[in-house]
Amino acid sequence: MRLLPVVVTLSLTVALAYYVYIPLPDAIQEPWKLMMLVAGFRATMHLGSLKDWLGFDHHMRSIRQSTDSFEGLMEGLRSSVSGGGVMPGVKVSDITFDGVQVRVYEPPAGGEGHLRRGLMYLHGGGWALGSVKQGSYDSINRMLSDELNTVVVSVEYRMYPEVHFPVPYLDCLAAAKHFLSPEVLARYAIDPERVAVAGDSAGGNMAAAVAQEISLDDTMSVKFSVQALVYPVLQALDFNTPSYLQNQQIPLLYRPLMILFWLQYLGADLSLLSQLLAKNHTFLHHSNVTPELRARVDWTVLLDPKHKKNYKPLIMEKGSQGAVKEVPGLLDVRASPLLAGPEVLAKSPRAYILTCENDVLRDDGLMYARRLQDAGVTVTVDHYEDGFHGCFSLVTWPIEFDVGKRALRGYLNWLQNNL
């Protein structure tokens, strides 16, 4: 009988270790911290799927509720440790811009006649998760507002499953146009020559798309002067780029999860997921995709050899394509900014693009940087060899990573010098 507790304890320990442990590249620092974080997220995903199967709620809503609760718990811990309150000089207001919910961060007022920077931020989360009130985004935007004397507008766009493309994009565009209006800029004492749009992951997708649209809109007297894109997702034609294959099992964004996010966002049939996970299937060879469009996502031309490595492009054999279902928005540049023509890119604001080596979206960002540069746009690429998707937001205790703090500092320094 005395042996039973030992056996049970050992069995539970082995089971927990099996659930937590995942192989990671040697370049990733603090691996066990990342494994524990991933285990928690994976458990949340499993719980959401179970609640969906039982008919309690949609799995994405359940995951969102769980992550929001976790963020609330972490914020409570941070407040108890720090004594509460961060960046006390920053004024925070939850209001609406043209019917879209936003959170506005205002730094302490400067001297009379002193104009400040302005920045619109779009959070990530696969167009389904995340919030402007989330602890990490809130902390980063408070820090940016305080350090760079910047009025930050963080957009609470609507998300899946309540809405699909193009609704989140249109929310962000409406908020951007409102923000850039001379009246609003004057109200917040913002210099119209120093206004940025920024975002991470899915937010980086919409930041790039909004920047393109604003740059083409002749009715806008004020346009964004810079765009800052943090590991942006920029195309849905090719899920077989070197980074998608190299990092398909690297957290926090696995290849299947990114494809699922795309299908959800575009309102597509989710049964396409199993087809697209096969390495011999892609939207790239759909009959509606012209050679010109394919060239805009041709990683064999747009990537440096060090990122192409030994990967080969997927070549579809005649008749092997099979029945490809139409996906609304697949070729819409508002969903896939990498598909924009060179004449559009040439009008885009100068750019900062942060990429991580251990991220399925690495090549999206690198290809976009190359195409912007080819169009004559000044681009700064900040690449982190030890970076992984999501690290930029993992900068607040107790879930903080050194690479995340370095990435955030690089982003802030670039804005300090370029906005």
Cite the active site residues.
201, 359, 389
CATH superfamily of 90-236+327-418: Alpha/Beta hydrolase fold, catalytic domain (3.40.50.1820)
CA torsion 229→230→234→238, rounded to 10°?
150
Radius of gyration of the chain (CA): 22
Give the residue extent of every domain in the chain.
30-85, 90-236+327-418
Mean pLDDT of the chain: 88
Which two three-digit tokens encode residue 407? 């990435």
Mean pLDDT is lowest, of 10-14, 114-118, 264-268, for 10-14
pLDDT (tens digit, 9 = 90+) per residue, 20-65?
A: 788 899 999 999 999 888 888 787 877 777 776 888 778 778 777 7
* Interval 123-143 mean pLDDT: 94
pLDDT (tens digit, 9 = 90+) per residue, 235-265?
A: 999 999 999 999 999 999 999 999 999 999 9
Q: Is the pLDDT of residue 201 over 50?
A: yes
Write the CA distances from 268 to 45, 169, 307, 349, integer angstroms: 21, 17, 30, 32
Which pLDDT band, with edges at 50, 70 and 90, does 14 fall under? very low
Ranges of H-type helices in 350-394: 362-374
Question: Residue for token digits 């802030």?
Answer: 412
